Structure formats: structure tokens, C-alpha cells
Amino acid sequence: MLVDLTDQQRNLLLDLVNEALDEIGPEIHHTWTRSYKAELRDRRRELARVRGLLAAQAGDPAGQGASELVGTP
């Protein structure tokens, strides 16, 4: 599926994805349930992929300064 976004919309989505990624690491760390922890890790991977796609469209192939994911592997 192809979605046509304005620069403002893309930047907003990037901000939201980055916020979610910032918050998910501590949540993974403080989660005791293995299945939920696995779900959170999967979600973090998908958020990182979405960030990469949005950043590539914005002309930042590195993912808007994205580094390796921080938190529980």
C-alpha cells in the first residue's frame, strides 16, 4: 500500500514513532511476563522499520539520526 503524506504529516509520524521507541525500552525492561516482553520486542522492531521507511522518504536514510535500539535485546 502506498500512502501519500505531506512533509508535515511525515514529520509528525516520525516524532510519534520516535516517542514510542523511547518509551518501549523501559517498558520491556520492567516487564516480567515473557510473552508480553516478546510482543513488546516485536513491536519495537516494527516501529524501527516504520521509522526507517518514513526517514527514507524524508531523505534521511540513516533514520533521522537513529542509532541501534536501546534496551533489552
CB–CB of 57/10 below 8 Å? Answer: yes
The predicted structure's pLDDT at residue 59: 79
Q: Is the dihedral of CA 25, 27, 30, 33 positive or negative?
A: negative
- How far is Cα 72 from Cα 28, in angstroms, rounded to an integer? 7
The predicted structure's pLDDT at residue 63: 54
Find cell 526507517 and name the residue.
52
The predicted structure's pLDDT at residue 62: 56
Domain residue ranges in the chain: 9-57
- How far is Cα 40 from Cα 22, in angstroms, rounded to an integer? 13
pTM equals: 0.76
